[in-house]
Amino acid sequence: MIKFRWYYDKDKEEIFLNEMTEKGFAMTKFFLGFYKFERCKPNEYTYRVDLINEKTERELRDYINLIEETGAEFVQRWGIWAFFRKKGEFNLYTDIDSQITLYTKIRNTFLWLSIIEIFILPSQINGWFNGSDMAKFFMGTTIFFILIIIIFLSQVYKSNQKIKELKEFKNYE
Amino acid sequence: MNRQPLTESLYYILLSVIKPNYGYGIMENIKKITNNRINMGAGTLYGAINILLEKDYIELYSEEKISRKKKEYIITNLGIKILKEEISRFEELIKNGKGVLND
């Protein structure tokens, strides 16, 4: 079975994947929003999505080895994300400090991506209004970049909320 | 002393590398000595090991060259010093707590 979903929020993506295993479908492949599922026993696996953009290839290999030693499986990577699954209970981040670090990294990643898009935006707007016959194309890309910036910044906001919640829970503030 | 107290995770990892130990061995040891209370996730352990390496509280002991690369870590002298400081801080916490409650 193949399902199409488009997630920016890794927590929502995990919920989706784990709801699918509840129904007896285990994700085996991902490509550009297309999730491929194979039959499994209901609740056979727990899926986790992790941010890997700060790890070198070597560090990632070490990390995957460590995760596999715990009995979990590396399903695949996709850009800055990696998918893992394990039979039974499965958590990658089990204390508040490491959860705060994770969401801080996620926030910073989306913040950097937003900044890059913001720098690209003026050239698209310029293309739209400089009277060239490509105006329609640049109108499209302008709208596209604005949408992406809004989505990325909303992820920055969401991560910040999450960090705040975790810190409050930890009694920092 | 202006050093932050160790987190529970860092403290238990240090206790697990008094003798050379590798990732999964550290997790298993922590699970055992806390009677399954702490089942540390790989993401947490991986990050914590990097923090401890950066602070020079632990160091790389050996690396399996063949097949799977399993890295073993061991506590440094600085790590032992920090651990001792933490334990005397805990002793103070316990002494003061019990002192108040036993009155």
Cα-based angle B36, A11, B13 (whole degrees, multiple of 5): 30
Residues contacting B25, CB < 8 A, separation 6+: B16
Give a three-class secondary structure readout of B11-75: HHHHHHCCCCEEHHHHHHHHHHHCCCCCCCCHHHHHHHHHHHHHCCCEEEEEECCCCCCCEEEEE
Interface of B with A in 19-48 (CB under 8 A): 23-24, 27, 38-48
The radius of gyration of chain A from alpha carbons, rounded to an integer in Å, stands at 19
For residue B68, pLDDT over 80 is answered with: no
> What pLDDT, on a 0 to 100 scale, did the predictor assign at position B62?
81
CA distance B19 to B33: 15
Mean of pLDDT values over A112-118: 94
Q: Which region among A2-11, A27-36, A164-173 has the lowest average model confidence (pLDDT)?
A: A164-173
Average pLDDT over every residue of A31-44? 95
Q: Of A46, A22, A162, A28, whose CA–CA distance to B41 is shortest?
A: A46
Interchain CB distance below 8 Å, A93 and B71: no
On average, the pLDDT of chain A sits at 93
Tell me how far apart the alpha carbons of residues A92 and B43 are, in angstroms, rounded to a whole number.
5
pLDDT at position A29 is 95
Given A61, A65, A102, which is nearest B43 (Cβ)?
A102
- State whether B43 and A92 contact (CB < 8 Å): yes
Which member of B7, B8, B42 has the closest CB to residue A92?
B42
Distance between CA B44 and CA B52 in Å, rounded? 12
Residues of A in contact with B9 (CB under 8 A): 94-95, 97-98
> How confident is the model at residue B2, as a pLDDT?
57
Task: Give residue A170's pLDDT.
Answer: 84
Give the nearest chain B residue to A96 (CA atoms).
B44
Mean pLDDT value of segment A60-81: 94
Closest residue by Cα to residue A46 from A66, A81, A79, A70: A70
Which ipTM score applies to this complex? Answer: 0.87
Which of B40, B51, B63 to substitute to test the interface with A, most A CBs within 10 Å? B40
Question: Residues A8-36: what's their mean pLDDT?
Answer: 95
The answer to whether B71 contacts A62, with C-beta atoms less than 8 Å apart, is yes
What integer pLDDT is reported at residue A115 of this predicted model? 95
What predicted TM-score, i.e. pTM, was given to this entire model? Answer: 0.88
**Residue A97: per-residue pLDDT:** 94
Mean pLDDT of A13-28: 96
pLDDT tens-digit series, residues B14-40: 999 999 999 999 999 999 999 999 999
The reported pLDDT for the residue numbered A153 is: 96
Nearest-CB residue to B44 (from A65, A69, A98)? A98
Q: Are A63 and B9 in contact (CB under 8 A)?
A: no
Chain A contacts to B (CB-CB under 8 A): 50, 61-63, 65-67, 69-70, 72, 91-95, 97-98, 101-102
- The rounded mean pLDDT for chain B is 91
The pLDDT tens digits for A117-129 are 999 998 888 888 8
Nearest to A6 by CA among A36, A32, A29: A32
